[in-house]
Amino acid sequence: MKDVKIYNRYTPDKINLIIKSIETEVLENDDIYFLTQPLGSRGIPSVQWSRFKQMTDDTDTLETMTRIESMLENRLVSGALNNKINTTMSIFLLKNKYNYKDSKQIDNNITITPILSGLSNTPLKDDTKVIDID
């Protein structure tokens, strides 16, 4: 029943006004890095942001929400690079809120061929790299 009360409290027009005011606040205050800051100052739980997206079909409101998210994501990255905010915390938030992933780099240009004495007399091709693993 609690969710029903939350849903009934916000009309599409009210959602639009809230989102516009959050955008204004984010644009005016460079120290806002997280959605919880402008939402919390309005007494709105952060989980409500995704509900707002579900409750509105107004493309302008949805585009504004996407724009706000992009601004905050960019602030996290630049804040970490410029040592304005904790880099570790930025990485954590980017992974959890913006789906950043660690990437693994694999060098596929190396061929590993174990050298076993007496098993093969076949010569290696000229372009084959040999690494002795013994």
Helix axes 59-81, 48-55, angle to 10 degrees: 150
Q: Where are the domains of the chain?
A: 2-97
Amino acid letter, 134: D
With a pLDDT cut of 70, the percent of the chain lying above it is: 72
Say what the pTM is. 0.67
pLDDT digits (tens, 9 = 90+) for 17-33: 999 999 999 999 999 99
- Sign of the CA dihedral 17, 23, 24, 29? positive
**pLDDT level of residue 126 (50, 70, 90 thresholds):** low
9-18, 63-72, 110-119: which is most confident: 63-72
Q: How far is residue 9's CA from residue 11's CA, in Å, rounded to a whole number?
A: 7
* More reliable by pLDDT, 82 or 127: 82
